[in-house]
Structure 1
Amino acid sequence: MTVDEAAQPEITTPHVAPPQSVVERPMSDLTGAVRRSRWRPARDDGMLGLGLLAGPANVIMQLARPGVGYGVAESRVESGRIDRHPIKRARTTFTYLAVSTNGTAQQKLAFRRAVNGAHAQVYSTEESPVKYHAFDKNLQLWVGACLYKGVVDVHRLFAGDLDERAADRLFEQGRALATMLQVDDEMWPADREAFDRYWQEQLDEVHIDDTVREFLYPIATSRLRGLTLPGPLQRRAEALALLITTGFLPQRFRDEMRLPWDAAQQRRFDRLMGVLRFVNTVSPRFLREFPFNVLLKDLDWRMRTGRPLV
């Protein structure tokens, strides 16, 4: 399926230069992420709300490892299935990002227990074509690495190019994202250059077969179960969502998903990201960081009232 060019809104902005594509750049490359502009936050932000746009692409990267892909596609945890309860699963994932990087020790412990309770039910059976277990440290490390890459890509696009301080801060956030559960601290790459080597090595383990690809395609188009717009609007919404998802994917993952990409699509993606970057930089910090800045409060409320955390 290709993105219908006619379905894409014509978006222009005279104020902000379109950002360059960042998804292929290594973590150790700190220069040339995006062009600087006068519309720039006074400091680098925490988790950016616009990062939600990269969520479907990040899910695809995580599930591109067969053990993760089949673990999610075959999951027996009904309440956590992204294909059936995407909003709830998104809340859980975003809360995980917020807790692992900015949560208190009590919040981390409570959320870790809740996630482990769900993960204990995720393991392969004799019928599974791939052997997996949600407590596999190597698979969890891969998921953490994908989350870290997603955070860096989002910051490069929407907050600006990284200096050493910002890059170091995000690298430590990546460590927290990976080690919140069973991943040992020493498993996390020693520095950004080591992460780049790890990432390149792990690309050899990436493979999306027909079963996982069929599972992932509705996620790529942000198709919500039970929510359908009138025909033309649905097609336009899915085409736009697919453009955004594909734009956030490195080419290796586009190929695995069989999602075409060309210079015209890159230009449309860049124009859209340029508009969103301008909106982001002139917005109050509270809006820039929403919903991550309220998820910890929601977690505290769930802990006090005994509601499920995941």
Structure 2
Amino acid sequence: MVRGLADMGAEGVLLAGAGRAILLQIADPAVGHGVAEHSNFTDRPLERLRGTLTYVYAVVYGTEGQVAAVRRSVNRAHGPVRRKPDAGSAGYSAFDAQSQLWVVATLYDTAVMVYERIYGALDDEAADLMYRDYARIGTALQLPAELWPADRAAFATYWNGCLQRLQADEVSVRVARDLLYPPDPQLWQRLVMPLARFITVGLLPDQLRQGFGLPWSERHCRWFDRTMRLSAVVYPRLPQRARHWPKNYCLARLGTA
């Protein structure tokens, strides 16, 4: 039986949802405008992805020293990400608890979606435990524990309410375009991005596909479902060292602390 985040979080297949989580995050202006003005992840996507993964893996699997190290690193990166409200912007801050709640929520919802596509539905006990575990990704920073919805039903209410309010604006559309269609792609991006775009768009809610101007049809949907079914057959049969390679790689780079 799957027992919480520590059992499922090492699965490398969860990286298939990275694009979905990012696009959900930036569809919230409080996050998207901060990313647009302060982040270089469209220029250095692998470095930013590795930083996010290292933080998550350290919180879940790391020592107290490793958690403290990644917390300091994230807080340093977040320090400049703030702007006071003015006539043209509602303002934002990377330390805002509601923004951190939304970011963690996108990571949680995306991880569950991808995991269940590959391994099937979690039973209630495992799903509840994993849900509680996910709060740690936020509370290790500035997210108050009481702000994380009390249970999965409360999360569903929060999540559905947020989705109804999300609307990709001009800023977030530009960031998404640069992420999915790099203006000056390296060779690895030319090879990887067609599949990454396809998976990202397939996992998005339909309203955001439309909001970001991402094409999707019944034909796309059929191919996406076939891709997920094939992945569900092939991926679980890979050796654990291959499935857990991203976690082992990131923690090895972090070192002991």
**Which TM-score applies when normalising by structure 2?**
0.89
What root-mean-square deviation, in Å, do the aligned CA atoms of Structure 1 and Structure 2 show? 2.2
Aligned position for 2:224: 269
Please name the residue that 2:138 is paired with.
178
Which deviations, in whole Å up to 9, do the C-alpha atoms of 1:198-230 show, x marking residues without a partner? 111222431211222011123234x3845158x
The CA deviation at 1:46 is: 3.4
Of structures 1 and 2, the larger Rg is shown by: 1
Shift of the 135–273 alpha-carbon distance from structure 1 to 2, 3 Å rule, reads: same
1:168 aligned to 118, 128, 132, which one?
128
2: CA distance, partners of 1:226 / 1:257: 20
The letter for the 2-side match of 1:172 is: R
95, 102, 111: which one aligns with 2:54: 95
Per-residue CA distance 1:147-197 (angstroms, 9 max, x = gap): 101111111011222112321232023211222210000100110000000
Is 1:86 aligned with 2:45? yes
Tell me, in whole angstroms, the C-alpha distance in 2 between the residues paired with 1:104 and 1:253.
38
Equivalent residues in 2 for 1:214-233 (5 A)? 214-221=174-181, 223=182, 225-228=184-187
Asked if 1:143 is matched to 2:122, the reply is no
User: How many angstroms does 1:237 deviate by?
Assistant: 5.7
Aligned residues: 250
Which residue of the partner structure matches residue 129 of structure 1?
A: 89
Partners of 2:187 and 2:61 in 1: how far apart?
A: 36
Is the CA contact (8 Å cut-off) linking 2:32 and 2:171 kept in structure 1? no
Q: Is the 8 A contact 2:25 2:103 kept in 1?
A: yes
The secondary structure found in structure 1 opposite 2:122 is coil
Please, which runs of 5 or more residues in structure 1 have no aligned partner?
1-43, 304-310
Give the letter aligned to residue 162 of structure 1.
L
Q: Name the residue aligned to 1:19.
A: none
Task: Select 1:154's aligned residue among 114, 122, 143.
Answer: 114
Q: Map 1:234-249; keep pairs closer than 5 Å.
A: 234=190, 238-249=193-204
Higher helix residue share: 2
Aligned to 2:211: 256
Q: Does 1:71 align with 2:34?
A: yes
Deviations 1:112-160 (A, max 9, x none): 1111111111112558634101111000100010010111111101122
Cα 1:139–1:46 shift into 2, 3 Å: closer
- CA separation of 1:134/1:197 partners in 2, compared to 1, >3 Å: closer, same or farther? same
Distance 1:289 1:174 in 2: 18
**CA 1:284–1:265: 2 relative to 1, 3 Å:** same
Structure 2 residue 35 is matched with structure 1 residue 61: no
The DSSP-based 3-state class of the residue aligned with 2:229 is helix
C-alpha distance in 2 between matches for 1:224 and 1:112? 32
**Cα 1:193/1:174, change in 2 over 3 Å:** same
Letter in 1 for 2:113: D
- d(CA) in 2 for partners of 1:259 and 1:196? 25
Whole-angstrom CA distance in 1 between matches of 2:202 and 2:184:
23
Q: Deviations over 1:37-84 (max 9, x none)?
A: xxxxxxx64332112121111100011100100000100xxxx51011
8 A Cα contact 1:54 1:154, kept in partner: yes
- Amino acid aligned to 1:56: G
SS class of match (1:291): helix
Structure 2 unaligned residues grouped into runs of 5+? 1-6
Name whichever of 279-288 and 64-73 sits farther off. Answer: 279-288
Out of 171, 176, 181, which is 1:211 matched to?
171
Q: TM-score, normalised by structure 1?
A: 0.74
CA contact (8 A) 1:83 1:225 kept: no
Matches of 2:58 and 2:147 in 1, distance apart? 20
| Cα separation, 1, equivalents of 2:193 and 2:65 | 40
Residues 183 and 244 from structure 1, CA distance in 2 versus in 1: closer, same or farther, beyond 3 angstroms? same
Q: Which of residues 228, 245, 248 is equivalent to 1:293?
A: 248
